[in-house]
Each structure stands twice: as C-alpha cells, then as structure tokens.
Structure 1
Amino acid sequence: MAVSYQLVGLGGLLLFFLARRWFDFRARAREIGPDLPGFRLVFTSIIPLPWKRWKGVSASAGWMWEQRFGIFKEFGCDMYSRVSAFPRVGSSVNIADPEVVREVTLSRSRFPKPVRLYRILSVYGPNIVASEFEEHKKFRKAVAPSFNERNNSLVWDETVKIVLGLFETPEWKGKASVAFDHVVDITLPIALFVIGAAGFGRQVSWEDDNSTPPGHKMPFKEALNITSVSLRVKVLLPRWATYLKSDWRRASLAFDELYVWFIDLSPSYLAEIKLTQLYMKEMIQDRRNTFEKGEHFDLFSGLLDCEDDPVDRLTDDELIGNVFIFLVAGHETTAHTLAFTFGLLALYQDEQEKLYQHIMSVTGPDGVIPGYEEMNRFTSSLAVFYETLRLYPPVTSIAKYSAEDTVLTTTATRPDGTHYAKQVAVPANTSIGISITGMHYNPRYWDKPNEFRPSRFLGDYPRDAFMPFSAGVRACIGRRFFETEGLAILTTLVSRYKITVKDKPEWVGLSIEEKREKLLQATPILSLTPKQVPLVFTRR
C-alpha cells in the first residue's frame, strides 16, 4: 500500500512538472509572437538524437546544415524562430539576412556571445574565442600583433616548403599518380606541419619521428596531431572513462603531454607527471630563456613579445590557452576546407583547368611558386578558395543572444515572390543563430547559389552575405594566416598535380551534381567535417 502511495505521489509530481513546463513553453512561444514563423519542438537541437528531423519533436544541426537556405524558403522569411521545451524551455531566432546580421555583429552590448557554449575550448586556459567584453579585449590586444605580415610571409614560405617536401616522400616521388580513400589523410598532416612551424615555431618533417624525448611518453609530432583532432574526447569524457578504450587513452595522454589541465587532476596524478618537462611548459620556458624580441615570427613568439607590458602580459594558462586555439582553428578548419576544395575541383574539371592555366600564367613555364609578396597575383586561387568557403563554411552557425528586448527588421517573401520588410520582436535572453549557410545560399544575394562558380569572386560580390570569418569585433583574427596557408597549398599542389575523383562502383552513371552529393557529404561537428572524399592526384 505504501508503495502505491509513493507511485501516486511521484506521478503527481511528474504531472505537475510537465504542466509547469507546458505553461512555460507556451509563454515563451507567445513572447516570440505569431508574426515570426518557425519550429515548436519538444527537444532542443543540441540534444543528440538518432533522427535528423521529427516534426514537432526535434530538428538536428545536421539537418539544418543539409537544408541550407531551404528552411528560410519554407517559411518565406530570412528569419525563423525555434522554441523548445527540453532540457529547459528556450527560444532562438535564426537569421540569414545580411543586413540584420550586420546589426547583430556590430551591436556587441545588445547581442553578446554566449561564452558558456564555448567553455569546451578552454581546456588549456582562457582564450580569445571563449571570452567576451573586457577579457576578450585584453586577449585581442595581446594576440593581434602576432598576426602580421612577417608571420604571413613565414606561413607562405613554410607551407610551400612543406608541400614540396611532400612530393619528395617515397609515397609521391617518382609516382605517376597517388590515390587516397579520404583526402584528409594528406590535408590534415600538411595543415598540422604548417601550424607547428608558423604557429609554434617547431619544425615537423615528413620523415617519421618516433623518438620520445626524456621525460615524455609521446613524440611532439604525435601529441600535436592527436590533440588537434581529439578535443571531444577531452571535453566529453571524465578521466576514468578514457581508460576504457585505447584511442581515448592515447588522446588523454596527448593532452597531458602538451599541457596538464590542472582543474581535474588528482594529487597522485600531479605527482606522476613532471610538469616542467611537458611540451607546452617546456616551450614557454625554453623560449623565455633564449628569446630575443623580434627575432622570431611564429605566433607563439609573437605572444611572448608582449611580456614586457605588465598590464597586457598573459599568464601561462592564458598563453597556452590562446596557442591551443591557434592549433584548433588553424588545423582542422584548413584541412577540411582544402578537402572540400580538392573535391570540387575533381568534380568540375573545367574549373580546375582554368585554375591551372591561371597559376601557370603567374609562375611561368618553370612552375616555380613565387614568394609571399606575389601572393595577391593568384586571384583565381583565392576565388576557388572563397567559393569553397561559401558552399562549405567551416562554421555553419554563429551563436549570440539578445541581452535586452529588441526589434529587428528583416525581409520576408509574399506568395507572389515579392519582398517586403518585416519587423520581428526579439525578447531578452533569446538565443540568436547567425546562419552562415543560410546567408551563403540566399538567392537574393547569390545567383544560382548551389552551383560551384569561382568566377563570382573575381569581381564585385555581396561582401555582407559572405561570412566564413565571422564579422564585426568578433571577426576572425587569423583570417590572413588561414588564406595564406590555403592559397599556398592549393596553388602548389594544382601546379603539379591534376585532381580526379576515385570513383566507387555505385557512382558510375551519376551526374556531376549527384556525384557531388555523394562525394562531399559533411557533418557539422566543431567544424564542418567531410565524411569521405576519395581522390586521385596525377602528375602533370
């Protein structure tokens, strides 16, 4: 009998909870108002569920990426809303209107960054990405001088040297063609070596380096590589769980080797590891001991340049936290963007030939890649790179939130196809999602947006509708680094190799567009990640 009363009591509490949640959900939906169309969902999109979309239940981030501008077209408006009940009642407004996005990105106090969503990037310490307001200003002031023309020149020179070094490896040298089941098998190490040299000031070669220095359990090259692609393991798993799988153990060890995340370590583990002998700590100490201001142009040395300023001086945690962000931002994003670029060029052979002929017109018949000072002459390389970023942006959505009640004016479409201005009330504490893919595929700004057309970037183009590097005060501080590296890799490789698709039997007979859907499937994780891009590189 007592058990029955307990069950009735629990049932009553559950009903009360659900009723309260329902009323809160309805109240939040009324605040958004009936004028802005959108989704009313049980679960928020950040909860991983096995389906992409279940009407009225959930809509995943992967589904929204696949829809591009389709969701906005469905609602007939460049903004739409979402209200969800679980895990807590929340609302969001998603935007694909460049004029509204400009207002949001320039009004920092009205639309701050929700830094709590970026705490996963603070595994090594506070940094420029996971910060806002005064802290962000401090980091930007400290970091900005590192991204200068001397560093860009270093990026260009090191990148060209690394790619040319690749051609001399046994896997490439003397071979008529080289095939990859997934092209990131080559773009990831190239990007890793570049960030090692131009970011950390550490040369990493194509030659196998299996030696482990005294005091370490893993070579620097391996630790750098594993750390850059294993952030989810560090963030999502408690330390004890990493011992359940060998890959997770290896990832955990790689993070420890670069630096110890002090917060979660037990005293026994602290005693186990000699902190001063771990790579990042060593790099700071060694560089301070031998450092001459202005002698080195990598990003790490640039950060040390500000150490004489007692106000702007970064703590070790802040220094390492920002260097780690350079690693994350400069490795996977570059490698994945290049994978999409090579895949598109393999599909669209006419565009690849145009690019090759343009490169030859700059380099001359000997094909020698000129120095950084000539980079701006490779206009077609930049156009191909930008068009890839438009179609496959590294970040598909940027998070903000409304700090106050406000009204935004967007563009809506009538059934007859005409456009009109629409005012949208946005309550305080509403999440704002800047849809990069929505803007990049918005037909009001891009003619035939689904087509791969690099020529659209050879003349005037709608700059406010192109935002792979964010905008406003939060614009990507490493944009020039990223562009310089990407152009150097793309130009050097295409000048010597023709890229084709490594066809699968089931792709025979497909049109180019159908094959593109198969070849360039992607998933938005930390950055937009290609699933598998099989390509062949044939010597010209």
Structure 2
Amino acid sequence: MEVLRTVAEHQALAAAGVVLFFVLRRWIAFRTVVGAIGPNLPGYRSLIGLPIPLPIRRIPGVLVTGRWLWEQRFKPYEDAGVDMYTMGMVFPTARAGLTVGDPAVVKEITMSRQRFPKPTRIYRVLSVYGPNIVSSEFEEHKKFRKAVAPSFNERNNRLVWDETVKIVLGLFETPDWKGKSAVHIDHCIDITLPIALFVIGAAGFGRQVSWEDDDSTPPGHTMPFKEALNIASLNIHVRALLPKWLIALRSTWRHANIAFDELYLYMKEMIQDRKTSLENGEHVDLFSGLLESADDPVAPLTDDELIGNVFIFLVAGHETTAHTLAFTFGLLALYEDEQEKLYQQIKSIVGPEGIIPGYEEMQRFTYSLAVFYETLRLYPPVTTFAKYAAEDTVLTTTATNPDGTHYPKQVFVPKNTNIGVNVVGLHYNPRYWDKPNEFRPERFMGDYPRDAFLPFAAGPRACIGRRFFETEGLAILTTLISRYKIKVKDKPEWVGLSVEEKREKLLQCRPIITLTPQQVPLIFERR
C-alpha cells in the first residue's frame, strides 16, 4: 500500500513538473516576443487571447476576445497616449502583435503588400467551401480578382439599382405592408436580410425570387435558400473548426451542418443555371465573369475555387448590406432631425409623384450617401483586419504628450509580428473625427479624412464590390425613406432614456463575420 502511495505521489510530482515546464517555456516565449516589439510601447497583456468574438467580457490580465476591440473603440489609444499599442497573450500560443489606429501607419501597411501581407491562415475559416478572394494572397488572390473584376462595371451597377428598387417596391405590395398605415417589425433584419438576398440573387445570378415564395422549400431540398444561407453565415466556425463527432453532439450544430450541405446544393444549382443561360446567350449578370473564368485556358478556376468564391460573394453580398441598413434605419429612427433632412432631399429629387429615378441620377442623392457613410463609420462591417510584417521594419506613429501636443514615435516591428488594422480605432479617432461618437452625416457632405475611413479596406485589397454595395444600399434607403418614416418600437424599459442611452440598447451588436445587430425593433409609418 505504501509503495502504491509513493508511486502515485511521484506521478503527481512528475505531472506537475511537466505542467510547470510547459507554462515556464510559454511564459519565456511570451516575454521574448513582447520584448522584441518596441519596448517603450504601451500595451495589454493577457493570459488567454482568443481572436473569435465570444460573448464573454474581457477579464483584465486573464482573458481577451475579438469582441473587446469593438467595445473599446478608441479608448485603448487614449489610455496609451499613442495611436498604436501592443497586445500580448500566453495561450493558446505565446504571441504579441500591434494594434494600429493611426491613418498614416495604416496607409503605409495597406499600400505595402510585400512588406505587410495578409496572414491567410487566420482566414481559413472562410474557406469552408474552397479557396476564395478573401482567404487568399499574392498570385492566388490576383487570379481570383482578375476573374471577378470584369463583372463589376457600370452596366451591372445599373442592373443592381433597377433590381433593388423593384424588390423594395415589391415589399410594399405584400400583405404585411400594403394598405397599412404602420408596419411593426421586431427585428429590422427581418426585412433587410431578404431584400439583400433577393438583390444578390437577381443581380448576381439572375435568380428571381418573389416575396410570396420567399420561404418555400424547392424539391430536393430540406430548407429554403434564405434559411440555409443565414444559418451558414452565422455558424462558419462550427463547420470550419469542429470535428464531425463533436457537431453530432448538439442539435443546433447538427442543424448548422445540414444548412451548409443545403447551401452547397443551392450554389451548385445556381452555377449550373447561370452556365446554361450563358450557353443560350441569355442576359449576362454580375457574376457571369466569375463563371466564365472556370473555363479560362490560362488560369482556370477549379470547382472548389468556383464554389468558394460564390459563397464569399453570397455572404458579403447579403450580410454586409442587411446589417448596415439595420444600423442605418435604427440611427435614423433615433435621430429624427437627420431623418427629416434625408427625406427632404429625397423628396426634392423624386418629386410629388414619388417616382424613384434611374441609376444615372444616383449621384444626386448626396445626403443618402452621407447617411450611409456615417453609419459605416460608426458601425463598420469589419471591425479589424489582419496583416503581418514580412521583414524587420520600423513604423512611425503619433504619440500624445500630457499637455495634449503630439509628436512622432518610432516603433521597431520584428519580422512575423502580427498587425491588427483597427478599423474601429480609426473611425473613432478624435484627431480626425470631431465628436466621433455622435451621428453626424454632414461630415461626409464635404471633404473628410479619407485615410481615417476604412469600411472597404484599402490598397490592392480594397473591396472589389464597393460600388455594388453602395448602389444597392442607396437604392434601398432612398426608396424606403421616400414612402415611410421610421420610428423606434420602444420597449417598456426604454421609457425615459436619453437618445444616446436608447442607442446603446437599440443597436447592441457583436462582431461575427461582420458586425451583427442583436435586435433592432422599428416601426415604419406610411408618409
């Protein structure tokens, strides 16, 4: 008995020694990587660092997740007194990185692709169906960009505008809207999401879906297209990170897995339908160039590459628009004076008949674009994007003295250092945006600090679908505001709150793939 106890004690000591050795090695590695970056640069240290946006608050010194950057906005830079700070974690791997909120530094990083490439390993989660334009870099990225670039032209922008206006007007003719003086919506996404899906289907793949058959399940499928895409886009981490045996243990994960399989079938059908249309010489839509590139003799796309890029365009083409418009409608409901300014400009253009003009008149809706941009500044779809240093280098950022004056500060950046371009930090930087927390669309009616406005990324990797997104968003915003006034659907607990306090409640959100509103209850009153 005594021998067994002695053996057990030795085993316990050995196990403790192994754990201690592991922790010590990890801590030494952590101190090494943190110390390699500018030693006088302030920063945050945490035992555990997870890039995914878990619904968990930061525990100082213990845990930080991807959600923290969004919640803090510019505050870490104010605390540090410099527009760049370090982030160091011990687990799951010992690493340190820079988080940048300085427009000049961000411009240098985004324009220097060879010095600061994209760490594609971080974006593998988006390759659930195959390589794509978002998860790739260098030659592979050039191949994908070349394949899709011809489709983003003025002819197809006109198609996007026309289809969007038609779809929104169709919404007004549905039983839930037609003849009603007011429409109550529990979550604004319930209307912005299907609108965006219909637009990407019609303008992207020639897939006409009416409001009547929105929720129908076609033969050969087990769930509607809208449901499959929505579930898949919200559960990419399930498919990409969890083993099949673990997915099988939870019903919501099993349902998400089914949605991915269903979406794959839908995409295959959409691709085949568009290929058949092209062979028959029918109308060429937005993504015909992508489909034709599959047979390019010089740089053909594999089936996985084709499906992977279709998936990215479906997600980016519906989720970004739907979420941004939900934030836009919520802000306009809160700030009634701004909504009235927007309505008066729209009214002056559409006239008493209320006829929405064609795409060629889009540039006249200047306040619509200003409202859209201000929403993107306050609630950018992507709150941060990643780069890394391919070589030892030095970056010069801006630091602040105690008296408020600024001075240049050089930071040594070792090779392989992770760099987070903090879009939220840029958009809330008070040196470039006066009263950055306020909703003030007029900032975009004249000159504005373009290098501090990054909702579409920048440089060679700037969003290729920016014009598509703007055209669709302005068409939806203009058409809806011309007919309806938006109000907040108040909850009892919101009574007596200030506008800013109510905004915190109404527009609660968290970053998933894009910044996602939790619930935006609104009322649409017929004008």
TM superposition score normalised by structure 2: 0.95
8 A Cα contact 2:380 2:424, kept in partner: yes
1:127 equivalenced with 2:132 (yes/no): yes
What amino acid maps onto 1:466 in structure 2? F
1:20 maps to which of 21, 25, 40: 25
Match of 1:284 in 2: 271
Q: Aligned partners of 1:229 and 1:31: how far apart in 2? A: 37
- Bigger Cα displacement from structure 2, 374-383 vs 46-55: 46-55
Q: Aligned partners of 1:12 and 1:135: how far apart in 2? A: 46
1:448 equivalenced with 2:435 (yes/no): yes
Q: Aligned partners of 1:477 and 1:294: how far apart in 2? A: 26
Q: Aligned partners of 2:82 and 2:385: how far apart in 1? A: 19
Q: Aligned partners of 2:217 and 2:515: how far apart in 1? A: 33
8 A Cα contact 1:94 1:433, kept in partner: yes
Q: Aligned partners of 1:372 and 1:466: how far apart in 2? A: 25
Q: Aligned partners of 1:158 and 1:49: how far apart in 2? A: 37
CA deviations on 1:50-85 (whole Å, 9 max, x unpaired) are 742222223332232121111101100000001111
Query: Shift of residue 306 of structure 1?
Result: 3.4
8 A Cα contact 1:79 1:410, kept in partner: yes
Match of 2:478 in 1: 491
2:143 maps to which of 138, 141, 144: 138
1:116 equivalenced with 2:103 (yes/no): no
Superposition pairs of residues 51-66 of structure 1, within 5 angstroms: 51-66=56-71
What amino acid maps onto 2:491 in structure 1? K
Change (3 A) 1:409 1:353: same
1:303 equivalenced with 2:290 (yes/no): yes
8 A Cα contact 1:198 1:297, kept in partner: no
Match of 1:518 in 2: 505
Change (3 A) 1:81 1:235: same
Can you give the 5+ residue segments of structure 1 that lack an aligned partner in the other structure?
260-277
1:503 equivalenced with 2:490 (yes/no): yes
- Bigger Cα displacement from structure 2, 292-301 vs 133-142: 292-301
Report the identity percentage. 73
8 A Cα contact 1:122 1:321, kept in partner: yes
DSSP-derived class of the 2:516 partner: strand
Q: Aligned partners of 1:41 and 1:243: how far apart in 2? A: 33
Q: Aligned partners of 2:174 and 2:9: how far apart in 1? A: 74
DSSP-derived class of the 1:299 partner: coil
- Bigger Cα displacement from structure 2, 341-350 vs 304-313: 304-313
Change (3 A) 1:13 1:346: same
Match of 2:232 in 1: 227
8 A Cα contact 2:52 2:67, kept in partner: no
Match of 1:399 in 2: 386
8 A Cα contact 1:204 1:221, kept in partner: no
Q: CA RMSD in A?
A: 1.9
Change (3 A) 1:16 1:180: same
Q: Aligned partners of 1:210 and 1:479: how far apart in 2? A: 29
1:252 equivalenced with 2:257 (yes/no): yes
DSSP-derived class of the 2:160 partner: helix
Superposition pairs of residues 367-386 of structure 1, within 5 angstroms: 367-386=354-373
Query: Shift of residue 386 of structure 1?
Result: 0.1
Change (3 A) 1:40 1:222: closer
1:74 equivalenced with 2:79 (yes/no): yes
- Bigger Cα displacement from structure 2, 54-63 vs 508-517: 54-63
Q: Aligned partners of 1:231 and 1:533: how far apart in 2? A: 23
Query: Shift of residue 47 of structure 1?
Result: 6.3
Match of 2:305 in 1: 318
Change (3 A) 1:27 1:247: closer
Change (3 A) 1:313 1:180: same
Q: Aligned partners of 1:48 and 1:306: how far apart in 2? A: 35
1:189 maps to which of 191, 194, 219: 194
Match of 1:263 in 2: none
8 A Cα contact 2:53 2:511, kept in partner: no
8 A Cα contact 1:229 1:332, kept in partner: no
Count of residue pairs the alignment pairs up: 522
Q: Aligned partners of 2:293 and 2:114: how far apart in 1? A: 28
- Bigger Cα displacement from structure 2, 291-300 vs 406-415: 291-300
Query: Shift of residue 150 of structure 1?
Result: 1.6
Q: Aligned partners of 1:48 and 1:482: how far apart in 2? A: 25
Q: Aligned partners of 2:87 and 2:235: how far apart in 1? A: 31
What amino acid maps onto 1:435 in structure 2? N
Q: Aligned partners of 2:54 and 2:480: how far apart in 1? A: 40
Query: Shift of residue 374 of structure 1?
Result: 0.9
What amino acid maps onto 1:10 in structure 2? A
Match of 1:269 in 2: none
8 A Cα contact 1:294 1:305, kept in partner: no
DSSP-derived class of the 1:291 partner: helix
Query: Shift of residue 120 of structure 1?
Result: 1.2
Q: Aligned partners of 1:222 and 1:54: how far apart in 2? A: 35
What amino acid maps onto 1:200 in structure 2? F
CA deviations on 1:116-159 (whole Å, 9 max, x unpaired) are 11111111111100000110011111111111112111111111
Change (3 A) 1:80 1:140: same
Query: Shift of residue 295 of structure 1?
Result: 4.5
Query: Shift of residue 316 of structure 1?
Result: 1.9
Query: Shift of residue 211 of structure 1?
Result: 5.6
1:103 equivalenced with 2:108 (yes/no): yes
Change (3 A) 1:12 1:226: closer
Match of 1:178 in 2: 183
CA deviations on 1:313-338 (whole Å, 9 max, x unpaired) are 21222111111100111111111100
CA deviations on 1:482-526 (whole Å, 9 max, x unpaired) are 101110110000000000011111111111111111111111111
Query: Shift of residue 19 of structure 1?
Result: 1.6
Superposition pairs of residues 343-492 of structure 1, within 5 angstroms: 343-492=330-479
CA deviations on 1:153-183 (whole Å, 9 max, x unpaired) are 1111111111111011111111110111211
Change (3 A) 1:404 1:225: same
8 A Cα contact 1:228 1:331, kept in partner: no
Match of 1:88 in 2: 93
What amino acid maps onto 2:298 in structure 1? V
CA deviations on 1:465-497 (whole Å, 9 max, x unpaired) are 100000001100000011011101100000000
CA deviations on 1:195-240 (whole Å, 9 max, x unpaired) are 1111222111110356654444444454444434443332244334
Change (3 A) 1:252 1:369: same
CA deviations on 1:276-328 (whole Å, 9 max, x unpaired) are xx333333334334424974342332212335530132122211111110011
DSSP-derived class of the 2:125 partner: helix
Q: Aligned partners of 1:226 and 1:55: how far apart in 2? A: 33
8 A Cα contact 2:27 2:94, kept in partner: no
1:150 maps to which of 139, 143, 155: 155
8 A Cα contact 2:205 2:274, kept in partner: no
8 A Cα contact 1:523 1:529, kept in partner: yes
- Bigger Cα displacement from structure 2, 208-217 vs 444-453: 208-217
Can you give the 5+ residue segments of structure 2 that lack an aligned partner in the other structure?
1-5
Change (3 A) 1:45 1:253: closer
Q: Aligned partners of 1:204 and 1:90: how far apart in 2? A: 48
Match of 2:39 in 1: 34
DSSP-derived class of the 2:287 partner: helix
Q: Aligned partners of 2:495 and 2:221: how far apart in 1? A: 50
Change (3 A) 1:507 1:26: same
